[in-house]
Structure 1
């Protein structure tokens, strides 16, 4: 008889590792909040103003981080309940306390995926003035998609260029916030 499938859980040992990303996201939200509070904005600026979008991003970051933290602790509690139930079953079956470890094996770090994402961000940061927003962000999207395991590179590139073009239009043409245009500078 095989044991029932363990629902998605997290071992207590991994809780600290799992909380690293939410901690970084909260630090980023705090940095954005500090930037918004110390920003010098003239009184003549109309709504939405330069504080509006950072405020939306900060609220979104905090909300998603709270949900992520709640999920981490929910999975840890589920693990404790599952292992306690397993231990009780083993004790009843053998009439002697036997501790059963249901720890999941840790997954190895995927260096190739990490390299795609990290080098993509580095390339984006170093070449943004030359490639411009549309091409740079499109290539960044493609690199991150490859890092996450996308199997259709042309499709990822087209989606990345489309999303980056939309972002360029939103920020540059609608909000009046200039983004680097790079080699496409004369086209827009």
Structure 2
């Protein structure tokens, strides 16, 4: 044995981080987690629709119309996410591979995830006292900020318009009242 062979054996297996490296079946397919969560939501909505008590006096399209649309969209998004993730798995950025271990580091944005979670908690806590319009606008604004928006004034305006539009759709279109909160006497 030459000294080159001995050095190569003592160093362990070579790290091959190139694009031709053998991949495990689920490598780069963490997007399947989001697809599974969306599928679980769709199944949950389906069970809710099946168990929904609809009075005979309900007008067309009825109280199940909007949940059915959401359920169809959830199934569609789950299917599209699955196909996209299976056809085009994520490729790790070679610049973030630690050279000593050869393992891929995660690329999660924990700050954004924490902000969105804080926004959801704030929305839940503030929904009754502030009402739908203000609490939903706050949630939309926090999510836009967490996703990297750099125009807070525009985001506030868009958030208020979207939350007012949802309020109007539920009130006028579906006949359902969302919590009014402190704005209750104005409408």
TM-score (norm 2): 0.77
- Equivalent residue, structure 2, for 1:19: 32
- 1:19 Cα shift? 0.7
Distance 2:85 2:109 in 1: 22
Distance 2:50 2:57 in 1: 17
Distance 1:19 1:111 in 2: 19
* 1:41-71 Cα deviation digits (max 9, x unpaired): 1122121111110000000110111111101
Q: 1 or 2, which has the higher helix percentage?
A: 1
- 1:18 Cα shift? 1.6
Q: Name the SS for the 2:168 alignment partner.
A: helix
Return the index of the structure with the highest Cα Rg.
2
Query: Alignment length, in residue pairs?
Result: 155
- 1:186 Cα shift? 0.2
- Equivalent residue, structure 2, for 1:85: none
RMSD: 2.1
* Structure 2 unaligned residues grouped into runs of 5+: 1-18, 92-101
- 1:14 Cα shift? 2.7
Distance 2:120 2:140 in 1: 9
How is 1:1-188 mapped onto 2 (pairs within 5 angstroms)? Answer: 12-15=26-29, 17-76=30-89, 105-188=104-187
TM-score (norm 1): 0.76
Distance 1:108 1:63 in 2: 26
Distance 1:70 1:104 in 2: 26
